[in-house]
Structure 1
Amino acid sequence: MPAYDFKSPRLFVAADLAEGSPVALDPAQANYLMNVMRLETGASVLAFNGRDGEWRCQLERAGKKKADLLPEALLRAQTPPSQLAYLFAPLKHARLDYMVQKAVEMGAGILQPVMTQHVQSSRVNVERMQANAIEAAEQCGILTIAECREPMKFDAALAAYLPHGPMIFCDEREDAQSPAATLAALPRGPLSLLIGPEGGFSAEERDRLRAEGGVTAIALGPRILRADTAAVAALAIVQAVIGDW
C-alpha cells in the first residue's frame, strides 16, 4: 500500500468534490470535527464521495454548529467498484454490524442479505448496514462505498447473481481439502461468495447449490466457525487466491 495519511480525519460526503468548491457538512459531521476532534479553521481533513477520488480539504468554520470543507488537492484518483459480491444469511444486530464492517474492509463491493431456511434474523435494516459500510470505508481508506442491497429470497439470489460469474459457497460438509487449490481453478473477474446461517444450509438449499454448474463449494477448515468469523475467513482466502490481493 502506498504512503497514506493516517493522521487527518476522513469523511464520506455526498456532494461532488472539486478544487475550490466548498462542501457543506451535515450537523453530525460538523459536530464531530469541531467539538469531538476540536479542529480549528484551516485544519486538514480528507474527504471522498465514491465518485471523485480522495481530496485533501481545509476545514472552514461557518458558525458554532456549521462548517464547510474546501477541497484543495486530489490525493488519490477514484478506483473502480469491487467485483466481489458478498451474499450472507442475516445475523442479529451487533454481529451483523461487525460482519458488514469486516466485509467492507476485506473488499466486498456488494452486500446482499439472503433469506435462507435457517436464517437467524428475518429483519434487515439496510440503512444501518449502509451506515456501517460508510464508517468502515472512512476508517480504512476505501474510496468506493459498498452497495448494501435489500434482502432477497434464496432462489431469487441465485437467479440474480449466477449469470454474472462464479458463485462460491462455504459448506461445512465439504471435505476439508485446501480451498486455495479449488479457488485457483476459477477464472478471475466478477464473482459472488455465499455464506449461510449458523444453522447451516438446509438439505434442499445444499442440493440446489450443487445442482448449479456455476457454483463451487469450499470448506473453511476442520472447525465449525460462527457466521461472522466465516465471513472474514472466506473473504480472506478468496481475495488472496483470485481477488485483488
Structure 2
Amino acid sequence: MAAKIETRLHIDAPLESGTAVGLDHAASHFLRSVLRLKPGAMLAVFNGRDGEWSARIDGIGKGWCSLEVIELRRRPEPEPDLWLVFAPIKRARLDFVAEKAVELGCSLLQPVFTRYTDVSRVNSERLAANAREAAEQCERMSLPAVRDVISLDALIDSWPADRRMLLCAESGVAQPVADALHEVRAEDSQAGRAPWAVMTGPEGGFTKGELDALTKLPFVTSVGLGPRILRADTAAVAALACWQAVLGDWEKRPPHRTDA
C-alpha cells in the first residue's frame, strides 16, 4: 500500500500519466520554502477536468518546480451548481466566508454592494487565493469562480432566468429555511441538480426597498434563519449548510482513493 499523500495542489494544466508539469513561482516557493519538499517527494495535483492525480517532484529550485504526473487517484465528479452572493464584510470575516463557502461546495462567489454594505472595495485576488487554498485543503476537485463586486441593481439585471435564489431575508415573516427547502424537495426530488444561489446581506441587513425588490422576483425564495440575529458570515455558513443538507450532495459517500 502506498504512503498517504497529504499535500494537494490545484493545477490548471492538463493532467495525464507520464506528463511533466511546471509549477508557477508561488506554488514552487510553497513546496520548496514552506513545506521544504525535495526531489522524489509525492503530492496530489487536481483540476475539475481531469480529476486528482499523484505526482512526483522531478526537480525543484528557487522559483521553479517540475512534476511528473504518475497515476489517477480520483475521477472528477458532478458538483452542485451553487453560488454564494454576499455583501462583503471586513477582511478577516471575508476570508472566513470564502473559505467556508468553498468547503460547503459553492461553485461561484459573487460579492455585491448593498445600501448598508460597510466595505468600499473587495480584493478579488485575495478572495480567489483563499478559495484556492480552501479547495486544496478540503479535497474538493474544482475551484469556485470568483467575480468582481457589483451593485445589487446590476446583479438583478444580469441574473440568469433559470437560477433560483435562496434569500436570507432576516424577517419575522419569512418562512423557516428548513421548511422552504423541504417544500422544494417535495415538489421536485431533483431540484438540487438545478442552478441555485444563496444570498446574504451586510451586517446592517437589507433595506426595506431592497427586500421588496428582491422578494418580488419570481426566482427568489425568501427564508429566515431562526430567532437569533446572526452575523453576516454566520448567516452565509448556516444557509449553505441547510441547502447542502436538504438539496445538496451531503448524502454522497466519501470518494474512493487508490492510495489510502
TM-score (norm 2): 0.86
Percent identical across equivalent pairs? Answer: 45
- Closer/same/farther in 2, CA of residues 167 and 174 from structure 1, 3 Å limit: farther
State the shift of 1:64 in Å: 5.2
Aligned equivalents of 1:193, 1:65: Cα separation in 2: 39
- Map Cα deviations across residues 186-239 of structure 1 (whole Å, 9 max, x no partner): 251211111000100011001111212221111111110110111111100011
Show the counterpart of 1:220.
225
Show the counterpart of 2:243.
238
SS in 2 for 1:161: coil
Show the counterpart of 1:163.
161
Show the counterpart of 2:86.
88
- Counterpart selection for 1:61 from 55, 59, 62: 59
Residue identity opposite 1:53 in structure 2: G
Aligned equivalents of 2:232, 2:26: Cα separation in 1: 32
CA contact (8 A) 2:39 2:60 kept: no
SS in 1 for 2:140: coil
SS in 1 for 2:12: coil
Aligned equivalents of 2:218, 2:22: Cα separation in 1: 50
Are 1:202 and 2:207 an aligned pair?
yes
Length, aligned pairs only:
241
- Counterpart selection for 1:131 from 120, 129, 132: 129
Aligned equivalents of 1:226, 1:233: Cα separation in 2: 10
TM-score (norm 1): 0.91
Are 1:211 and 2:209 an aligned pair?
no
- Closer/same/farther in 2, CA of residues 50 and 7 from structure 1, 3 Å limit: same
CA contact (8 A) 2:5 2:42 kept: no
Residue identity opposite 1:29 in structure 2: A
Show the counterpart of 2:256.
none
Aligned equivalents of 2:61, 2:221: Cα separation in 1: 57
- Counterpart selection for 1:72 from 62, 70, 73: 70
Aligned equivalents of 1:222, 1:66: Cα separation in 2: 53
Aligned equivalents of 2:196, 2:157: Cα separation in 1: 14
RMSD: 1.9
Aligned equivalents of 1:167, 1:98: Cα separation in 2: 22
**Residue ranges of structure 1 left out of the alignment (5+ in a row):** none
- Closer/same/farther in 2, CA of residues 218 and 20 from structure 1, 3 Å limit: same
CA contact (8 A) 2:28 2:60 kept: no
Kindly report structure 1 stretches of 4+ aligned residues shifted beyond 4 Å.
none
CA contact (8 A) 1:168 1:194 kept: yes
